[in-house]
Structure 1
């Protein structure tokens, strides 16, 4: 799909989506799935954008066949040649950046300005992994005085990469890069809710990558389950909910021994001590909720823990700041938050809010479906307070625009509350005391911690969680190496 001119209008993009012949990249060719056609819904309006056929079990088998057949030749190219091709793909995708941004805005309901940033980020991460090709090295080890003992990093072969709906292009682009540079072939399955940018990526990739190196398959949970259970898929990487992540672990184990990495949910805490920069804290508390994604972000700091001496001021100022977050159609100028991805997600978030109020929480801002945006699956940016740390709203991931604010008295209490949940993805600490900042950061059961910041992802810094938030690290050299397995070669000199 190519937009006729820029800047485009929403009507032009919607018409182009509706009239376009959407195909999947099945190894060596672009083709339609052979399964039942399913609608793709615009969450901002609830209108059907288009219908696209899902892949069948036979389609998935054929795709894995091609990926398996292509694996040896792709690995044999060597890391620098593979990296050069990934850079070429990044360049080709960059030429279509505006198309991808518009697709994600219409398909996922995410603000256009934010999707333009997402496109840049996804392409930059592709190039980052290409630049890391030099790190695919082994070791020479002193295993014996007479021998030569070396290790080499070897690809797994076929990798299944399953991604969610909240960063459609960014995840599609960035999360195929590491396995490709490492020498694997990849089968990418986007969310069935937001497949459009991944399908267009597949079309662009078909002009750049050798046949069979990348496939993009569209479909529901059955497609993902078949990929996971295929014995030729030895490495699986999934981003999404902890429930699905655990089912992937189980399904993979039922058919073999597989390497699995999981980037899952979060119920992340921002801890604000009484010496924090209040202005910076307020801005960061709003930023940390990732309202641009309607709170549909695993890294959102959705629990704000505030030391009691500054609690009232921070609570009131955060509520005022959230009340100013502008909600509307995601392609409109100045809109900061669009709709949720589906009716199911909307109802889920509103259910959390209703149950929290029934349990005694005080609603400060939002809390409902805005009447002026009844055409889409919108939930107002919401702030709640008055809950206990063990309340459902303080323990479970809402995955929506809902912030809970709670007081604490001591450093020990703050850490106890922060660590009381089953998740452990991100955390944030606000204080001017560097000793207290590091004590708290090291005590948090979280994989990615900010001091006096939230939400920022830094190139090359490993991102991932502990506990129910997953296993493995991404966005880093650790991710690249996770797509290799070590081979030891021992030469006995006589």
Structure 2
């Protein structure tokens, strides 16, 4: 869909910042173009928040905090369920908006509103479960704990699922009694503005607040003395910057960062299912722009050639780049020219380091796609762990394939990277599956599956893939502090 062909009801009507229950022009007067990556053309302009805007939004959230925290949990849950219902009602236009602004296929993005609504409903159901405990102290004392909300929470979300991340990550902090300020990704901010239009008025003024902006906006959120916790979905360099800023203020963080995730296939794997898992686990639908993508595939030598041949044959049929707003498209574009150039750089690196290109490796020849940031699904074989492409996160549609024989050497190689977000293991032997899951250094492991999330199952990484867990009860507790109360009895 070209910008000039966007139908009514897709784009947000507002082009301002939302905080304190109202829309505000950016204090600096700055706006920035936001583009349609399928055609590299401007859609509209989005406001750019600077430190002064952040201060205004955080103070509005801080002012609203005591009132929101005092609302009974069951009442807070009703607010979350109302928001979830609104998201379900607007699922298709929200998917179309993100497809326009970040390049992912609308046919897959339609699930994002449902997942966000699921999160809101899940945490609504947990709002009354934030419980303390009593601790025996003898006859002379009564001792108990409570879980108190923190205050203002800053949420910085990524561009690959901007609407879903922003909406879903409202749930746990709000259910726990916190107020929230969300920063949209500068590459794809429009669906966050639309989210503010849809749910802003559901909540009391100042409870939910939405900003657009770049690095200054994010830095100011981390530094603001009234922000009690900062969370990020993004890359490792950004995560380190957030953590440095937070450390200066002794502020807790929750980070979901990058991945260089491994898929391990044993000789007894169901090969048809394995091939599907390899293709699906790389998230080529999103052009590989997913922290959880299994971009390193380790195939046992006995099945290596057969499986690789099947993947090479099927991949171009299943994931051919196309216009993101076309319902038939199964692989969209990269989000920006910078991301396209990064992918092209790593293809060059793969060649230089001795990898064997067996699929893709170039921009598509379809003239319809000539102006956009498209790249073919790409596979390098004959990879070795010391290669840069085998160690560094691309966040693009490049898969590396390795051949293994010795299990001890295999896990040395799998665990040699500084990432540890997800992993996938394929075997029909229960003993092998449990042993391999224990040895894999990752926060979220699939066995005979890949890429799927399950509400209530803790998602998060180890090593440089982040800290903290989301999509589960533990996420709710991330936004509370334990308070101990001791009563001396007369």
Count of aligned residue pairs for this structure pair: 486
Conserved in 2, the CA contact under 8 Å of 1:40 and 1:51? Answer: yes
Aligned counterpart for 1:412 among listed residues 389, 392, 408: 408
Aligned counterpart for 1:295 among listed residues 283, 288, 291: 288
Aligned counterpart for 1:286 among listed residues 265, 268, 279: 279
Partner of 2:482: 486
Q: Counterparts of 2:262 and 2:34 in 1: how far apart (Å)?
A: 34
Aligned counterpart for 1:93 among listed residues 75, 87, 92: 87
Matched, 1:63 2:30: no
Aligned counterpart for 2:331 among listed residues 312, 324, 337: 337
> CA 1:94–1:15 in 2, change beyond 3 Å: closer, same or farther?
closer
Q: Counterparts of 2:292 and 2:232 in 1: how far apart (Å)?
A: 16
Partner of 1:5: none
Give the unaligned 5+ runs of structure 1: 1-7
Aligned counterpart for 1:273 among listed residues 266, 272, 292: 266
Conserved in 2, the CA contact under 8 Å of 1:322 and 1:383? Answer: no
Give the SS at the match of 2:146.
strand
1:361: Cα distance to partner? 0.7
Q: Counterparts of 2:486 and 2:417 in 1: how far apart (Å)?
A: 47
Q: Counterparts of 2:218 and 2:2 in 1: how far apart (Å)?
A: 34
Q: Counterparts of 2:462 and 2:139 in 1: how far apart (Å)?
A: 41
Partner of 1:423: 419
**Bigger shift: residues 313-322 or 171-180:** 313-322
1:374: Cα distance to partner? 1.6
Q: Counterparts of 2:141 and 2:355 in 1: how far apart (Å)?
A: 69
Give the SS at the match of 2:202.
coil
TM-score by length of 2: 0.97
Deviation per residue, 1:92-140 (Å, 9 max, x gap): 2222222211111101111111110111111111111111112211111
Task: Trace 1:207-286 onto structure 2 (pairs within 5 A).
Answer: 207-254=201-248, 256-286=249-279
Q: Counterparts of 1:71 and 1:125 in 2: how far apart (Å)?
A: 22
Conserved in 2, the CA contact under 8 Å of 1:138 and 1:151? Answer: yes
Conserved in 2, the CA contact under 8 Å of 1:79 and 1:136? Answer: no
Give the unaligned 5+ runs of structure 2: none
Task: Trace 1:360-375 onto structure 2 (pairs within 5 A).
Answer: 360-372=354-366, 373-375=369-371
Matched, 1:321 2:314: yes
Aligned counterpart for 1:385 among listed residues 350, 367, 381: 381
**Bigger shift: residues 386-395 or 136-145:** 136-145
Conserved in 1, the CA contact under 8 Å of 2:321 and 2:375? Answer: no
Q: Counterparts of 1:162 and 1:306 in 2: how far apart (Å)?
A: 37
Structure 1 stretches of at least 4 aligned residues deviating more than 3 Å after TM superposition: 8-12, 14-21
> CA 1:38–1:15 in 2, change beyond 3 Å: closer, same or farther?
farther
Deviation per residue, 1:267-299 (Å, 9 max, x gap): 000000000000000000000011111100000
1:12: Cα distance to partner? 4.3
Matched, 1:39 2:33: yes
Partner of 2:107: 113
Matched, 1:443 2:436: no
Conserved in 2, the CA contact under 8 Å of 1:94 and 1:123? Answer: yes
Conserved in 2, the CA contact under 8 Å of 1:41 and 1:49? Answer: yes
Deviation per residue, 1:249-282 (Å, 9 max, x gap): 101122x111101000000000000000000000
Partner of 1:202: 196
Give the SS at the match of 2:338.
helix
Deviation per residue, 1:427-462 (Å, 9 max, x gap): 011011110110000111000000100001011000
Q: Counterparts of 1:313 and 1:285 in 2: how far apart (Å)?
A: 13
Conserved in 2, the CA contact under 8 Å of 1:71 and 1:157? Answer: yes
Partner of 1:462: 458
Deviation per residue, 1:144-184 (Å, 9 max, x gap): 34211111110110000000100111101100110011100
1:205: Cα distance to partner? 2.0
Deviation per residue, 1:58-78 (Å, 9 max, x gap): 211111111111111100002
Conserved in 2, the CA contact under 8 Å of 1:437 and 1:451? Answer: yes
Conserved in 2, the CA contact under 8 Å of 1:13 and 1:102? Answer: no
Aligned counterpart for 2:77 among listed residues 83, 88, 91: 83
Matched, 1:187 2:154: no
TM-score by length of 1: 0.96
Matched, 1:355 2:337: no
Deviation per residue, 1:458-483 (Å, 9 max, x gap): 11000000001000000000001110
Q: Counterparts of 2:122 and 2:145 in 1: how far apart (Å)?
A: 24
Q: Counterparts of 2:99 and 2:387 in 1: how far apart (Å)?
A: 34
1:20: Cα distance to partner? 3.7
